[in-house]
Amino acid sequence: MTTFVDKTVNSLKSLLDHNGTIKLFGSEGYITEFQVTFSNYGARDEIQSFELIHSISFPKDYKKFLEQHNGARIFDIISDGENIGGGLHLFSLEEIEEELEYVELFEGINGIPIGHLLEECHLIIDKDRLKQGDPNYLYLFEDGLDYKSLNLNFEIFLDRYIMCQGEAFLEWSYRTAENYG
């Protein structure tokens, strides 16, 4: 059975060239080349062990992604033929373990960091929201200071991020003719 996450990922993959790159129309008329890479293996066997160690039961949509791709980099910018990053880095389970070692960074947050967004923010699954059955369990932790709800789950976040071609869609409601640019 194909899921929402599968459809989103497979559709993006179908647009990539043989090098995993794609040229996209961006804001203000710019065309940018991006690199997209998905892990070639899933973490099906490792998920249960990780969940037990960290007292979490991953949501179905995120678990489905991990089962297919244990990590990804989506819309890293290619400049003069070189990957300079800047996109969405979805961590593998091993990378999540490494991030959790930075205890001081996540002090006071009951969550699991699952990625970096634009290399400035952590994408976090809030364990408290998950335990309460709240489907809006995804948070953004900006610069180690601001912890805010995205009011999204993983599959909706991933779908919107890909639809917006890596643009910071979360900020669009704040941009007006007066403050744009």
Smallest Cα–Cα separation from 16: which of 90, 66, 92, 72? 72
Specify the pTM: 0.88
Q: Does residue 31 lie in a domain region?
A: yes
Q: Does residue 44 lie in a domain region?
A: yes
Total structural domains within the chain? 1
Q: Does residue 177 lie in a domain region?
A: no
What is the spatial distance between Cα 164 and Cα 140, in angstroms, rounded to a whole number?
A: 18
Each residue's pLDDT tens digit, 38-47: 998 999 889 9
**Residue-range definition of the domain harbouring residue 142:** 4-167
* Beta strands in 9-63, from DSSP E residues, in sequence order: 21-25, 31-38
Q: Is the pLDDT of residue 166 over 80?
A: no
Helix (H, G, I), strand (E, B) or coil at 156: helix
| Domain CATH number, residue 73 | 3.40.1580.10
Q: Does residue 179 lie in a domain region?
A: no
Each residue's pLDDT tens digit, 118-164: 767 899 999 999 999 999 999 998 876 788 888 999 999 999 899 88
Each residue's pLDDT tens digit, 16-75: 999 999 999 877 788 989 999 999 899 988 999 999 998 889 999 999 999 999 999 999
Smallest Cα–Cα separation from 50: which of 4, 3, 113? 113
What is the spatial distance between Cα 1 and Cα 159, in angstroms, rounded to a whole number?
A: 18
Helix (H, G, I), strand (E, B) or coil at 171: helix
Q: Does residue 118 lie in a domain region?
A: yes
Q: Does residue 17 lie in a domain region?
A: yes
Q: Does residue 53 lie in a domain region?
A: yes
Higher pLDDT, 102 or 9: 9
